[in-house]
Structure 1
Amino acid sequence: MSEEILINVTPRETRVALVENGMLQEVQVERASRRGYVGNIYKGKVSRVMPGMQAAFVEVGLERAAFLHASDIVRLPAPLIGDNGDAAPAPTPPIGELVRDGQEIVVQVVKDPIGTKGARLTTHLSIPSRHLVLLPYSKVLGVSVRIEDEAERARLKETLVELLGETRFGYIVRTNAEGESREALAEDVDYLGRLWTAVQRDIETAKVGRCIYEDLNLPLRALRDLMRPSIEKVRVDSRETYERASRFAQQFMPELAERVEHYPGERPIFDLNGVEDEIQKALRKEVPLKSGGYLIVDQTEAMTTIDVNTGAFLGSRNLEETVFRTNLEAAQAAARQLRLRNLGGIIIIDFIDMTDAEHQRQVLRQLQKSMARDPAKATVYDMSPLGLVEMTRKRTTESLERQLCEPCPACSGRGSLKTAETVTYEIFREITRAVRQFEAKQLLVLAAPKVVNRILEEDSAAVAELEEFIGKTIRFQAEEHYSQEQYDVVVL
């Protein structure tokens, strides 16, 4: 498999694209005015304890107070931890026993502010490096579940135990560590140890609202999290960012450092492999399939729905075979779209109904297989009798659409507008209401050209009847800058 990372840098915005076999799989955006907060560690102050919610609001210097649930607060002695870092179920004490109003507390952001919600916090601090994650308030030694080879898991854990000796900190071995040498892990242990010492020093002296630790910027974060032996090239179109990335790679991944290149081409880097076009397509609802079918992706506050349609695909055998082939392709396309658009939370995929149980199992397996390549944690549930598949995907940042777009001012994000006919009848009702409330010699209606044209052409007889009914003259004036639903009735 051919993989490539493209990094596009402008003064106010940085974008990273992961391309597999010439097809865009993932895009990340970071703007100077709105950098993400996930991973940042702050000294905060509890502003309000909410016993009914088992949570507290914490001021950490962000626009809105952040949310800290009782289950995300470190308790000593800590609950038992399993081999993969999963805590054994334990009753959570009342929030009032864990924190109090006005208390200073060190917290880490695990989810960015999304919509009207503040950031989500935890006191279970974690600091990642290339191959490891340091858990300073835990004693767990775990290995990523994505490393499936049992012999390799055992080797990595034994190596880590040797390196740590009497160290009391917890560590998680990341997927990137698979096949890495003892020396590579030793470098990460040393780096994280020095970094945590510096963080502890800042915790002692920092004032409330100050950021104690900030995660790497997007280009370096992309190298840390996405760089692996299968990545053939990392192309960076900024000389300054390239030099920084090259130094970072030399320090933390010297065996891959030569794959980081400066891209001096005149053609914009995101025009390679049609990345720019793919980003624009990812902002549309409809996703065409090669077979002629298509997906409709609809993101709402509560969940994301994906509807599968056969479209123009007729197949060569029978209806069941056509539906099966379309659903198989849709399963792959849906998994790619979820990652590309960074959609999370509850997701429902409405596959076309299949009567063959084996076809249903194969489509579900295809979806699970396609989702396995996604770095975000996802859970896929069985297909319902209606052909619906419920799934969840972990979300820590806003979706691509929410980052790049805003609600349409004409429809306020509804995705539809009232017809000119509907607005016409609203105007007629408003005229009747205005005449009853105010003394008037005549009335002036300001509305969008399409609405005014309809009134003067198709509803001219209705206007004449209305003028006779109210005993007043009505004038209509088209306003180019009015949206289709906007109008004003002025009493003269």
Structure 2
Amino acid sequence: MSEEILINVTPRETRVAVVENGMPQEVHIERASRRGYVGNIYRGRVQRVMPGMQAAFIEIGLERAAFLHASDILRPPPALSEDGEPPAPAPPPPIAELVREGQEITVQVAKDPIGSKGARLTTQLSIPSRYLVLLPYSRVIGVSARIEDETERQRLKTVMGELMAPTGMGCIVRTNAEGQAAAALGEDVDYLLRAWEAIGVDGGNSRAGQRIYEDLPLPLRTVRDLLRSEIDKVRVDSLETFERMRAFARQFTPELADRLEHYSGDTPIFDLYGVEDEIQRAMRKEVPLKSGGHLVIDQTEAMTTVDVNTGSFLGQRNLEETVYRTNLEAAQAVARQLRLRNLGGIVIIDFIDMIDADHRRQVLRTLEKALTRDHARTNVHDFSPLGLIEMTRKRTTESLERQLCEPCPACAGRGQQKTAETVTYEIFREITRAVRQFDASQLMVLASPKVVARVLEEESAAVAELEEFLGKTIRFQADDQYAQEQYDVVLL
């Protein structure tokens, strides 16, 4: 499989695309005016304690107060039982016993503000590097579940146990660490310890609302998090950014530094690989399938729903075979769209109903296999009695659509607008209401051209009846500045 990373840099925006076999799979965007906060560490002040929610709101200098749940507050590890085994996890104590209003506390952003929700915080601080994630307040040595070879997992645990023992801290071994020598892991440990020492110094001198530690900018995070041995090339269209990334890679991943190259072609790099077109398509609800079927994706505040339709696909054998083939293709398309659109939280997939139980198992297996390449953690459940698949995908940042779009001013984000007929009858009711409240000899209605055209052509008889009933003259004037749902009734 061919896999490349493309980086497009402009003065106020950086975009990163992961391309597999010529098809864009992920898009990451960072704007200078609105950088993400995940991973940043702040000195915060407890603004309000909410016992009913087992949470507190923390002021960390952002637009909205951030949210800290009791389960995300670091507590002393429980004592081992008599047989040396750790006890079962206990529920957190009441939030009022953990924090109090006005208290200053060091916190880290776990999730960016999303929609109307503030950032999600934790006091269980962690600092990532190329191969590791440092856990300063823990002694646990964990290994990524993506490293499946048991011998390698045991080797990494042994190596990291020896490296971390003098520090009294714990760590998580990332997927990139697979096959790495102890010396390379030791360099990462040294880097993390230096970073933690700097945070400790800064944290002691910081005031509430001040940022203590900021994660790397997107291009350098790309080198740290996405550059792996499977990546063939990382192409950057900015010479300055390329040089920064190459210097960073030579320091932390020298064996992969030669995979970076500067792109200086005349065609914009995202146009060359079709990424721009793919981003535009990701703004649409409907996703066509090669078979002739299509997906309909709806993102709401509570969840994302995906509906699978056969469309024009008729198949070659029978209905069950047609449905099965469409669902197999849809399962792979859904996994790709979740990554491309960065859709997180609860996802409900409504595949076309299948009678054959083996077909359902194959579709579920295909979906799970397609999701294994997703960097975000996913959890997929079996078909429900209604034939739906419920799954979750870890969400830390806004979806691609919500980063690039805003609610439509005409429909206020409903995705629908009232018909000209509906607005016409609303205007008639408003005229009646206005005449009963105020005295006027005539009225003027300002509305969109489409609504006025309907009133004067199809509803002219109704207007005449209304004028006779009210004993008033009513004039209509079209104005291009009015959206279809907007109108004004003016008393003259």
Pairwise TM-score range, normalised by the shorter structure = over 0.9
| Corresponding position: 1:260 with 2:260 | yes
Tell me the secondary structure at the aligned position of residue 256 of structure 1. helix
Q: Corresponding residue for 2:305?
A: 305
- Aligned-partner Cα distance in 1 for 2:181–2:90: 37
What TM-score comes out, normalization by structure 1 length? 0.98
- 1:51-103 Cα offsets, whole Å, 9 max, x none, are 111111111111111111111111123587xxxxx995212111111111111
- Aligned-partner Cα distance in 1 for 2:23–2:272: 10
Measured after TM superposition, the shift of residue 18 of structure 1 is 0.3
- Aligned-partner Cα distance in 1 for 2:378–2:90: 24
Aligned length: 487
- Aligned-partner Cα distance in 2 for 1:175–1:447: 60
Measured after TM superposition, the shift of residue 165 of structure 1 is 3.7
Q: Corresponding residue for 2:428?
A: 428
**Maintained 8 Å contact 1:40/1:211:** yes
| Corresponding position: 1:351 with 2:332 | no
**Maintained 8 Å contact 2:164/2:170:** no
- Alpha-carbon spacing, 1:35–1:87, altered in 2? closer, same or farther (3 Å): farther
Aligned residue type for 2:319: L
Q: Corresponding residue for 2:90?
A: 90
- Alpha-carbon spacing, 1:105–1:487, altered in 2? closer, same or farther (3 Å): same
- 1:311-333 Cα offsets, whole Å, 9 max, x none, are 01000111000000000000000
**Maintained 8 Å contact 2:236/2:261:** yes
Tell me the secondary structure at the aligned position of residue 326 of structure 1. helix
- Aligned-partner Cα distance in 2 for 1:340–1:87: 41
- Aligned-partner Cα distance in 2 for 1:384–1:113: 32
Q: Corresponding residue for 1:83?
A: none
- Aligned-partner Cα distance in 1 for 2:249–2:87: 34
- Aligned-partner Cα distance in 2 for 1:217–1:61: 20
**Maintained 8 Å contact 1:143/1:153:** yes
**Maintained 8 Å contact 1:55/1:69:** yes
Q: Corresponding residue for 2:279?
A: 279
- 1:206-251 Cα offsets, whole Å, 9 max, x none, are 1111111100000110111111111011011111100100001101
Tell me the secondary structure at the aligned position of residue 255 of structure 2. coil
Over the matched positions of the two proteins, sequence identity in percent amounts to 76
Tell me the secondary structure at the aligned position of residue 6 of structure 2. strand
Q: Corresponding residue for 1:111?
A: 111
- Alpha-carbon spacing, 1:106–1:79, altered in 2? closer, same or farther (3 Å): farther
- Aligned-partner Cα distance in 1 for 2:453–2:35: 47
Q: Corresponding residue for 2:132?
A: 132
Measured after TM superposition, the shift of residue 409 of structure 1 is 0.5
- Aligned-partner Cα distance in 1 for 2:452–2:166: 81
Q: Corresponding residue for 1:445?
A: 445
Tell me the secondary structure at the aligned position of residue 323 of structure 2. helix
Q: Corresponding residue for 2:402?
A: 402
Measured after TM superposition, the shift of residue 371 of structure 1 is 1.0
**Maintained 8 Å contact 2:112/2:398:** yes
Q: Corresponding residue for 1:71?
A: 71
**Maintained 8 Å contact 1:60/1:210:** yes
- 1:439-477 Cα offsets, whole Å, 9 max, x none, are 111110000000000111111111111111111111100
**Maintained 8 Å contact 1:349/1:389:** yes
- Aligned-partner Cα distance in 2 for 1:335–1:165: 40
Measured after TM superposition, the shift of residue 162 of structure 1 is 2.3
- Alpha-carbon spacing, 1:97–1:460, altered in 2? closer, same or farther (3 Å): same
Q: Corresponding residue for 2:180?
A: 180
The correspondence of residues 175-214 of structure 1 with structure 2, limited to 5 A, is 175-214=175-214
- Aligned-partner Cα distance in 1 for 2:171–2:384: 40
Q: Corresponding residue for 1:43?
A: 43
- Aligned-partner Cα distance in 1 for 2:55–2:483: 43
- Aligned-partner Cα distance in 1 for 2:226–2:133: 15
- Alpha-carbon spacing, 1:109–1:78, altered in 2? closer, same or farther (3 Å): farther
**Maintained 8 Å contact 1:79/1:88:** no
Aligned residue type for 2:292: G
Q: Corresponding residue for 1:474?
A: 474
Q: Corresponding residue for 1:372?
A: 372
Q: Corresponding residue for 1:417?
A: 417
**Maintained 8 Å contact 1:323/1:352:** yes
- Aligned-partner Cα distance in 2 for 1:249–1:166: 28
Measured after TM superposition, the shift of residue 291 of structure 1 is 0.3
Measured after TM superposition, the shift of residue 385 of structure 1 is 2.8
- Aligned-partner Cα distance in 2 for 1:79–1:433: 73
- Aligned-partner Cα distance in 2 for 1:78–1:239: 52
Q: Corresponding residue for 2:83?
A: none
- Alpha-carbon spacing, 1:87–1:378, altered in 2? closer, same or farther (3 Å): farther
Aligned residue type for 1:19: V
- Aligned-partner Cα distance in 2 for 1:87–1:427: 68
Instruction: Name structure 2 gaps, 5 residues minimum.
Output: 81-85
Q: Corresponding residue for 1:251?
A: 251
| Corresponding position: 1:319 with 2:319 | yes
**Maintained 8 Å contact 1:78/1:138:** no
Tell me the secondary structure at the aligned position of residue 105 of structure 1. strand
Q: Corresponding residue for 2:291?
A: 291
**Maintained 8 Å contact 1:159/1:182:** yes
**Maintained 8 Å contact 2:46/2:101:** yes
Q: Which runs of 4+ in 1 moved over 3 A?
A: 77-80
- Aligned-partner Cα distance in 2 for 1:231–1:112: 28
- Aligned-partner Cα distance in 2 for 1:307–1:77: 45
Tell me the secondary structure at the aligned position of residue 287 of structure 1. strand
The correspondence of residues 53-64 of structure 1 with structure 2, limited to 5 A, is 53-64=53-64
Instruction: Name structure 1 gaps, 5 residues minimum.
Output: 81-85
What TM-score comes out, normalization by structure 2 length? 0.98
- Aligned-partner Cα distance in 2 for 1:267–1:192: 40
Tell me the secondary structure at the aligned position of residue 324 of structure 2. helix
- Aligned-partner Cα distance in 2 for 1:131–1:77: 26
- Aligned-partner Cα distance in 1 for 2:276–2:360: 35
- Alpha-carbon spacing, 1:335–1:247, altered in 2? closer, same or farther (3 Å): same
- Aligned-partner Cα distance in 2 for 1:237–1:24: 17
Question: What RMSD, in angstroms, separates the aligned Cα atoms of the two structures?
Answer: 1.2
Tell me the secondary structure at the aligned position of residue 386 of structure 1. coil
- Aligned-partner Cα distance in 2 for 1:97–1:291: 59
Tell me the secondary structure at the aligned position of residue 298 of structure 1. strand
